[in-house]
Homo-oligomer: A and B are copies of this chain.
Amino acid sequence: MSDQKKDHKDLREECVRQETIFQGRLLRLNRDSVRLPNGVETTREVIYHPGAVAIVAREGDELLLVRQYRYALERETLEIPAGKLEPGETPEACAQRELREETGYQGKLTYLGRFYSTPGFSNELIYLFGAEDLVWAPLTADDDEFLGVERMPWEAAIHKALQGEFQDAKTTLGILMQAGKTRD
């Protein structure tokens, strides 16, 4: 990796033994034995995830958001459209598909960046896109997904993001990165 430096101490944890505890529809859980830089052995619990996309889609001066029930949180959330990568699917194709499935629109995509959602225990990588010039082109959504689309004025969304009023990281992050690019 280009940001590694030759003169800094070695922080690497070496895998001694892999153990897959669970392979589900979405997640794989490993509890691996690793050797730390000081030679001591410990375990690491890791969730492997296929990766995902999220889309900051704007029509005119409004942001498209989806309301959905999040079982893990036992509550509804209001988030930017998002979804996981299918095998072999590019992030761009996934973003276009998820946008059409979740909001009914397709759009002109701009890549904003990618980030790990929670590197302490998972390799989930989320690719973030902006979408504009939206055209109605609905696709049928996953049959276990129930969504409601809502609109919010873009300036209000930026304000809510800065106040920490959205529930999830990718929504706030997407809005603030898009807002920063627009104002650059």
Contacts and interface: CB of A to CB of B under 8 A. Distances in A.
A138 interface: no
Interface in A1-51: 1, 3-4, 8-9, 11-13, 15, 21-22, 24-27, 29, 31-32, 34, 36-38, 40, 42-47, 49
A92 interface: no
Contacts of A1: 75-76
Contact of A11 (B42, B68, B118, B119): B68
Given A1-B76, A70-B116, A169-B170, 20 more contacts: A4-B76, A8-B148, A11-B69, A11-B147, A15-B71, A25-B43, A26-B45, A34-B71, A38-B146, A40-B144, A44-B71, A47-B121, A52-B120, A72-B119, A73-B123, A115-B167, A118-B118, A118-B122, A118-B168, A161-B177
Interface of A: 1, 3-4, 8-9, 11-13, 15, 21-22, 24-27, 29, 31-32, 34, 36-38, 40, 42-47, 49, 52, 67-73, 75-79, 82, 84, 112-124, 126, 128, 143-144, 146-148, 161-170, 172-173, 176-177, 180-181, 184
19 contacts: A4-B76, A11-B76, A11-B148, A12-B76, A13-B71, A21-B21, A22-B31, A38-B146, A49-B121, A52-B120, A70-B120, A72-B121, A73-B119, A77-B116, A114-B164, A115-B169, A117-B168, A122-B122, A169-B173
